[in-house]
Amino acid sequence: MSNLARILIVDDERPITTLLTQTFEQDGHQVKTADNGIDCMNKMASFRPDVVIMDIMMPKLDGIDTTRLIRRNKNFGDSVIVALSAKADEETRKRMREAGANLFMRKPFVIAKLVARVNQILESRAETR
C-alpha cells in the first residue's frame, strides 16, 4: 500500500490494541498505542498521527472528551478519528460526531472492515494532497 500512515490506537483493552497493532503494522503502518485519553494526548504531540482509532469508554479521560481536545488543538486537529465502542446507542454516536469523530464503528467489529475503512480514508486524503 502506498498510503502508509502513523496510527495511534487508544483503547484500555489490551487484546484490542494488540490485534490492531499487529494488523496495521503488517500493512506497513507505524503504530503506537495509548490506554486512556490522557496517555493519548501525551502521545499526540510527539507522534502526530494521521489516524486515531479511539475507544469511547476508558478510564481517566473518555474518548468523547479526548476527541474534543484533539479537535481543539491546531497542531493535530486534522487527524482522522475513528471511534470504536460497544456503547453504540444513538446518543453516544451523536456526542462522538459532535466531538469531531470522522467515523463510528461498533464493538465487536470485523477487523477487515475496519482496515478497509481506514485504508479508504487514507487513500482519499492522499488524493486531496
Give the C-alpha separation, 68 to 96, whole Å. Answer: 9
As a whole number of angstroms, the longest Cα–Cα distance in the chain is 37
pLDDT at position 3, please? Answer: 63
> pTM of the entire structure?
0.93
What is the per-residue pLDDT for 124?
84
Instruction: Report how far residue 54's alpha carbon sits from residue 62's, in angstroms, rounded to the nearest whole number.
Output: 9
Close Cβ partners of 34 (under 8 Å, ≥ 6 residues apart): 8, 9, 10, 40, 42, 43
Inter-residue contact 54 to 70 (CB < 8 Å): no
pLDDT of 87: 84
**pLDDT, mean of each 10-residue run, the chain (129 residues):** 82 96 96 96 94 95 96 89 90 95 93 93 80
Q: Which domains does the chain have, with CATH numbers?
A: 6-128 (3.40.50.2300)
Region for residue 28 given its phi and psi (left: phi exceeds 0; alpha: psi -120 to 50; beta: otherwise): left
Q: Which residue is it, cell 496510527?
A: 7
Tell me, what's the pLDDT at 1? Answer: 42
